[in-house]
Amino acid sequence: MRISLLSVGRRMPAWVVQGFGEYAKRLPKECDLRLVEIEPVARTKGGDRMRAISLEGERILQAVPKGAWVVALDVGGPSWSTEALALELKHWMASGQDVALLVGGADGLSSACLARADARWSLSPLTFPHPLVRVILAEQLYRAWTLLQGHPYHRG
């Protein structure tokens, strides 16, 4: 199974690249995590915010792997505990279906992305910087995998 993190934004700081890479490489091949960076729409003063969200949404949807189970990262979605995420991961792995995690740009995901999603997931009611979300997602997926393996990394 491949997990694709489709995230709007490019040219991340080194600590983001390093943090994401560290947790992604810890995951086994049967739970392969890869990052797909989506080009953001340039924001201009007085620009059309809804048009930018829509264009980024189109770019995200074009990058969704064919047949993937799509999970939209959305503050309005349910929050998952580490244990709940581990169960989701277990189901994803058992299905053999690839998974696409959608992370929108500065203004969030388009309605088209939310409509396409098979599930929604809220990391927190807090607002996180988009670069940090990449690292959090990679770490949480690694943590969920270690929990399934009985590895002592997660000490819940």
- Which residues does the annotation place in the binding site for S-adenosyl-L-methionine? 73, 104, 123-128
**Binding-site annotation: residue ranges:** 73, 104, 123-128
CA distance 59 to 53: 10
CB-CB contact of 131 with 37 (8 Å)? no
- Tell me the two tokens of residue 136: 């959090």
Phi, psi of 4 (to 5 degrees): -105, 120
Residue 107 contacts by C-beta under 8 Å, 6 or more apart in sequence? 49, 52, 53
SS3 149: helix
Beta carbons within 10 angstroms of residue 145's beta carbon: 24
